[in-house]
Structure 1
């Protein structure tokens, strides 16, 4: 990091909706404190994405933003430029603000997911089911593709890009897809007794169940998977990895 960053105080923040629980604010505030950096990190809790323009205009020395649910796709029209990976993924979770005030979109969810699941992958992990079709799921799909893992999208309704609805899921389909990734908010605190409605009896010790949720640490989805002998991973490592990648981008 250059000397300029040691001296100047910058603002960073998270764009989302109902984000008082946010991982990012606590993570970066702690990071700035530990590394003796004068920066601040705040939440931009927006009821509508159109509010982003006035928020950016009224925040001095804003250098970078993270973006979370439900704005990872909705933010794109407000950006001046996307990097190649974000363009291919079609979702943004990191924004760099240039010295001239240009907003450049990146995706670090892809990086976080790839590097957090990689140590757990074995030969038989060849196909995945992605539960949910939001912005985060697009980064997951891109990472799987790059790792040579085939995937199918699962959603409540039969729409473009969806391979199966929950009603069509069978134990046989679960058995065939040895990686199951929950990209839905089902099971997030405080609604901890909810989980995606899939045939859990098809899960075995050969499976990986990955939940993007990190609060609670063990969701109902992971708990049931664990009882079936599956390897279970929550979203915490992915979040830490994507946060550090965001930090690298802001400081390039």
Structure 2
């Protein structure tokens, strides 16, 4: 019987995952298929679970946190992060995992240098939680930047020359700049970016966002989210198929 895998999200016609796994299944001659489950609301997940013979799911925006209440168990790392992007179907149990942090860690490591001690995380959604966990594992302190900052978070208008010089790693976890709204970008003072900075954008479409272009113009190292997606997808496959 064909094994069905899929992606939970909203407005996910662009899905990286479907392309990645469909190609993998074809290349490796696996009797598997991958489909998008584009849900207008998380409550519709119940219909997906009852109507489909699913072997594993990925989870993307905006359901990485909302999906947790539908699961029977959380892997310790996903519990620590507070966000899920992989669901393993283990007999009758749904177990939530997070492979985003792994994907980010592995794609960031080649860019790190001794000057990077502190990071700014732009955005506070489900993806940003995995980034924060990853940075804590790498002994890099971080501060969230938000349009509506809570306690211990910064607002965008607090970002000045001193802060940008102090925080050498800047990670965009907002959707600003995603196709088709490619002219958008986070409102940070790019004039203070230097060649010692690393700008990492979780967005992969377009391959170079305005955020990354502006960093590159100042000599910063830049990376988009494509390698992170490949690593997290490979880790998801491991999770689904581990005994």
Short-chain TM bin: over 0.9
Give the aligned partner of residue 111 of structure 2: 120
Q: Does 1:58 align with 2:51?
A: yes
Alignment of 1:70-219 (within 5 A): 70-99=62-91, 101-160=92-151, 162-219=152-209
Q: Does 1:249 align with 2:242?
A: no
SS at match of 1:216: coil
SS at match of 1:184: coil
Q: Distance in 2 between matches of 1:171 and 1:219?
A: 22
Asked whether the 8 Å contact 1:64–1:250 carries over to 2, the reply is yes
Alignment RMSD (CA, Å): 0.8
Give the aligned partner of residue 30 of structure 1: 23
The unaligned stretches of length 5 or more in structure 1 are: 1-7
Q: Distance in 1 between matches of 2:144 and 2:88?
A: 30
- Deviation string, structure 1 residues 68-114 (Cα, Å, up to 9, x no partner): 00000000000000000000000000000112x21100000000000
Q: Does 1:68 align with 2:68?
A: no
TM-score (norm 1): 0.95
Q: Distance in 2 between matches of 1:169 and 1:205?
A: 18
Give the aligned partner of residue 5 of structure 1: none
Asked whether the 8 Å contact 1:171–1:200 carries over to 2, the reply is no
Q: Which consecutive aligned stretches of 4+ in structure 1 deviate over 4 angstroms post-superposition?
A: none
